Amino acid sequence: MIRQFPDKTILDPAFRETYPIPEKTMAELLYDICDARPDARALSFLGARLSFGDLKNRIDTCARGLLELGFRAGDVFSFCMPNIPETVILIYAVNRLGGICNMIHPLAPASAVIDSVTEVKSKFLAFPEIFLKRLSAPLNEKMSDLPLRKVIVAPMTGSADILSRIGFWVSKGYKALKQLPQNEQWVRWNNLIKNGKTTHQSLPAAFGDPHRVSVYLHSGGTTANPKIIELSDYNFNAIACQIFWAVGEIPGTPPAGGHAMITVLPLFHGFGLCIGMHAMLVNGQCCILVPQFSADKLAAIIKKQRPTLMAGVPTLYEAILHSEAMADVDFSCFKALFCGGDSLPAELKVRFDQFLRAHGSSCKLREGFGLTETVTVCSLTHEVSSDRHGIGVPLSCMEMKIVDPATKAVLPDGETGEICVTGPTVMKGYLNDPEATAKALVLHDDGKVWVETGDLGQRDTDGFYHFISRIKRMIKVSGVPVYPSQIETIVSELPEVLKAAAIGIPHPYKMQVVKVFVSVREGADRAEVEKKIKDTIGARMLRYAIPEEIEFVDAFPLTAVGKIDIKVLEEIEREKRNADNNK
C-alpha cells in the first residue's frame, strides 16, 4: 500500500506501508543476486572491482577454509576489521555456515578486544596485519585463558589494485607481519583461502533459519549502559528492503542505471553494516568501500566513481563543508544523501543543502532516526519531505508512537514524550541479560511489543516525527556512542580519585566531546591525575572517550538520595558556556 505523505494530495511511491520481507538468511539473499547478476559490480576498493559472481566464489572458498579450521554452526566469529573486501567476504562466509558475527570497533584497544571475545565466547577473531603491533602481543600472552581457537590475520590491501598492494606492502605490510606470532593459532588470510581451495569440506546444503541470532552489535541499550544486542538475518533483510523503497526503487529489481553507495560508515556499526553493505549488495548495488574517512579521499572518489548514494553522521557532513578538496567537486551524481548516527543540527542541514545546490545537486540531506535495537534506521525523511527538519516517518512495516514515559499512554500530536518503535527490525534481545531485555522490549496494551527507546520526541499531525533529546545518558562523539558510566567507573578506580562524573559538551566539528569532573584526595598532583585519567581511558576505551576537558571540583551537587546530580552539572556547564559566548 502506498501512503499519502506529507501533503495528502501527493502520492510518494517510495513510501510504503508494508512490504513482504524474504524468509531467507543474509547470505541466501545475497546469493540470489550473485546468481542473477554475476557480472555486475559488487565491490569497489582502492582501484579494484569485484563482481557479484567473484564475490560469491570468494565467500564459498572462505567458508570452506573456515570449515577446515574447525568452524561450525553456532560458533561466534569476532571482527575487528575496517571496511575492506575481506571483511565483507568473512561476514557472509560466517553467515553461510550458520555462525554469529560479533562486531568490534577496529580502533578498540587490546583490552577491549579481549573483553569482547571473552564475553561472547568467541572462538575466532579476525583483524588486518596493520593491527598486529597493537593486538598481537596482548592476545598471544592471554591466549590460553581465552575461548579463541584461531586468529585470522587479513591483508589490508589484498583486494586493492596492484599499485596499492605494492605501495602498502613496502611501506607498512612487510614490517607489520614481523609481529605475527609463529604458532598454529594464528592463521594468515592466504593460508585460509588456500585451504578453502584444496579442502574436501562441503558447504551445508541449507542456509539455515533466518530468525536465529546471527549478529552481535554493541550499544548502550535504552539505558545507556553497554549491552550486546542480538539480531537476526530477518532483522537485517527487513532494513535492506525498507531502505531500497526509500530511495525510490523496488527491492530485488536493480534499476537500469544502478546505484553505488560510498560505504564509509564502519561495518562494526549497524548503520554501516546494514545500510552501507547488506542493503546495497542484496539489491544488486555496488559498495565503494572506504576503510578510513578523509575529506580529500572522499572528494577523489566522488570525482572518479560518481556514486549515487551516501550515508554519514553529522561530523562527516561538517567535514565536507570545511574541506578545500570539495571546492570543485560536482555532486550532481547523487540521488540521495542520508544522515544518522546522531542528531542532525538544523543549521547544519541548512548549510549542507546550500552546499549541495552550489555543487550541482538537486538532493537535500535526509535525516533518519534509529537505534541498534532496531539494527539501525527506523524512520526517515523521504524525497517529498526532504526540505523539512526532523526524523521523518516510519519505514515500511515499522510503527512509531509518542507515549508518556510514566503511564505509557499515547500522547496527542505536538506533545513531547518517549519515542517507541515496533516492527520486523526489532532485536531478539540483549545477550545474557533478560532483565534489561524485559525493560527494553515491552508489551503494551495494544498487544504489540515495543522498543521503549529512551529518547524524547514529538509527532506532527501529518505523521512526521521529531527527535527532541535523550532520556538516557549517552555522549555521541563524531557519531560514536560513548558511555559516561564506563568513563566514571574507570576514573573512580584511580587511587587519587574520590568521585568522578562525565558529561558531553558542545564541539564545533565533533558535535560533542567528553568532559570529566573529578574530586581528588588531599595532596594529589592534579597535573599527574589529569595525565593518568587520559592515559587510562585511552588504554581501555576508544579514543573518542578520552576527555577533552577535565575540571577538578571540591564537591559535587547531589540528588536527594546522595548521588551526583548530572543534570545540575550539565546546567552549570551550559550557563558557564553561554556566559563565555556572550562576552
Closest CA to 10 of 276, 427, 385, 321: 385
Closest CA to 544 of 476, 454, 469, 495: 476
Predicted pLDDT at 2: 44
Q: Which residue has the higher pLDDT, 14 or 358?
A: 358
Predicted pLDDT at 5: 47
Predicted pLDDT at 256: 56
pLDDT at 258 over 90: no
Predicted pLDDT at 221: 59
CB distance 76 to 99 below 8 Å:
yes
pLDDT at 226 over 80: no
Closest CA to 26 of 190, 243, 242, 215: 215
Range 187-217 burial, b when 16+ CB lie within 10 A, else e: bebeebbebbeeeeeeeeeebbebebbbbbb
Task: Give me 462's grid cell.
Answer: 501529518
Predicted pLDDT at 1: 46
What pTM was estimated for this model as a whole? 0.85
Average pLDDT (543-568) is 84
Q: Do domains 17-260 and 475-581 have the same CATH topology?
A: no
Predicted pLDDT at 251: 75
CB distance 241 to 21 below 8 Å:
yes
| Cis omega (within 30 of 0) for bond into 506 | no
Q: What is the CATH code of the structural domain delimited by 475-581?
A: 3.30.300.30
Confidence of residue 220 (pLDDT cuts 50, 70, 90): low
Predicted pLDDT at 255: 63
Where do the H-state alpha helices sit in 252-387? 270, 279-281, 295-305, 314-321, 346-358
Domain boundaries of the chain, sorted by first residue? 17-260, 368-470, 475-581
Predicted pLDDT at 448: 96
Closest CA to 15 of 191, 220, 246: 246
pLDDT at 11 over 80: no
pLDDT at 133 over 60: yes
Closest CA to 94 of 117, 69, 110, 72: 72
**CATH class as words, domain 368-470:** mainly beta
Average pLDDT (342-357) is 90
CB distance 284 to 256 below 8 Å:
no
- Please state which of the ranges 132-141, 278-287, 525-534, 571-580 shows the lowest mean pLDDT: 571-580
Average pLDDT (327-331) is 96
- Please state which of the ranges 201-215, 240-254, 400-414 shows the lowest mean pLDDT: 240-254
581: burial class by Cβ within 10 Å (0-12, 13-18, 19+)? exposed
d(CA 63, CA 68): 9
Average pLDDT (301-330) is 94
Predicted pLDDT at 509: 83
Predicted pLDDT at 9: 37
* Model confidence pLDDT, tens digit, residues 135-149: 999 999 999 999 999
Task: Give me 324's grid cell.
Answer: 578545500
CB distance 445 to 408 below 8 Å:
yes
- Please state which of the ranges 182-186, 424-428, 432-436, 466-470 shows the lowest mean pLDDT: 466-470
CB atoms within 10 A of CB 472: 14
Distances (CA, A) of 120 to 72, 107, 496: 16, 19, 33
Q: What is the CATH code of the structural domain delimited by 17-260?
A: 3.40.50.980
Confidence of residue 447 (pLDDT cuts 50, 70, 90): very high
* Model confidence pLDDT, tens digit, residues 373-420: 999 999 999 888 888 889 999 998 999 999 988 889 999 999 888 999
* Model confidence pLDDT, tens digit, residues 44-99: 999 999 999 999 999 999 999 999 999 999 999 999 999 999 999 999 999 999 99
Question: Helices H, strands E: what count in the chain?
Answer: 18, 29
d(CA 225, CA 215): 19
